[in-house]
Structure 1
């Protein structure tokens, strides 16, 4: 077999707009994680303490979001949590390329929301995004209409139900049949909900990042 047939394929994003790609590339190149041990569940979490860290999806997850949103002609999507805007860039690119739509972002830390807004403006996509600053359990109570796609990638809690579980319970009634939910962190109680047939979803675990759960609402 020719050697070139055994070579791994070079990843190529479906997004080709140079303005958007430049912002995504910069965010990816400057991605940073907090020091080991700084996120100690026993000590509890304060999101403001990590305002300088952009906890974001990876480009391969973003490419999937973009493709699915384009394929389903999505016009109303939810981005939780927006952080510094990486996921919002992919969502907003799909809304623009679909001919219009709205990304409803939710971000607890105001300084991160400001950075996300700046990144979206730099990419030429700010008009497609409404970033709501505050607790997602309040900001996402009403998305203003049926949701086509939701990303659930929220801040960890020290105890009790995870935010992912609480937000999916809030989002599920607003999600249209045929809509998608993408979850980044595979929280056990989120998976319990999404895999319970009574809740109207089917899902699959994708080999992306540490394990990305993609769910489809079927009723």
Structure 2
């Protein structure tokens, strides 16, 4: 974790260096042909190492704004992919005076790309990317978490990764902490909207529906 004071008048999210990296990443966005997902079973994530499937800028701005408002210092980024969401988180950590972004990424090549992007933006010291299955790497994040992004990979059967990861992260999230979900998986929504699990959520009109939840109990 990096901790230090900053006196700059402008925020990191408006830093020309960081904006240049984000602009380059957005310019490189691409999606595979739909046929790549048409085979039986779940697609192999290693086959998509060159594809970011990153959050949209509006989601990134929301992450930054919420983290700044709540003075977040420990956040979880699942899945980190090529580092788009981690950049927004890390920018908030820098402007909050210090903090740690705990990333989770299964594909080592994507984690390496994320590290390069973060280094280019001067934000790599705020991010710890844990390579491997998030259901293992996020079992212990080292303390109470302020914010969790959940943007997982499709599975062939059973509970989605989003559902499995929220069940792992919910006990580690502090009361008042946020969860942002990118793909609106039905079983994730079932969990987060069940009052017994201690959350209140709302669907935002961003990227075909982005679910934002706050832990209230």
Q: What is the TM-score when the length of structure 2 is the normalising length? A: 0.93
Please give the root-mean-square deviation of Cα atoms over the aligned residues, in Å: 1.1
Cα displacement string for residues 112-144 of structure 1 (whole angstroms, at most 9, x for unaligned residues): 000000000000000000000000000000110
Residues of 2 paired with 1:114 and 1:182: CA distance? 24
Cα displacement string for residues 15-48 of structure 1 (whole angstroms, at most 9, x for unaligned residues): 2101110111111111000112211363322100
1:49 and 2:86 aligned: no
Residues of 1 paired with 2:12 and 2:39: CA distance? 38
1:148 and 2:139 aligned: no
Residues of 1 paired with 2:39 and 2:86: CA distance? 28
Report runs of 4+ in structure 1 exceeding 2 Å deviation.
40-44
Give the conservation status (yes or no) of the 8 Å contact 2:100–2:127.
Answer: yes
Q: Which runs of 5+ in 1 are unaligned?
A: 1-12
Equivalence for 2:3? none
Equivalence for 1:121? 119
Residues of 2 paired with 1:32 and 1:181: CA distance? 26
Give the conservation status (yes or no) of the 8 Å contact 1:76–1:104.
Answer: yes
1:15 and 2:13 aligned: yes
Residues of 1 paired with 2:134 and 2:170: CA distance? 14
> Equivalent residue of 1:192, what SS?
helix
Give the conservation status (yes or no) of the 8 Å contact 1:14–1:67.
Answer: no
Give the conservation status (yes or no) of the 8 Å contact 2:104–2:129.
Answer: yes
1:29 and 2:27 aligned: yes
> Equivalent residue of 1:101, what SS?
strand
Residues of 2 paired with 1:198 and 1:41: CA distance? 38
For residues 99-110 of structure 1, the aligned pairs below 5 Å read 99-110=97-108
Q: Aligned to 1:39, which of 34, 37, 40? A: 37
1:64 deviates by 0.1
Residues of 1 paired with 2:69 and 2:36: CA distance? 40
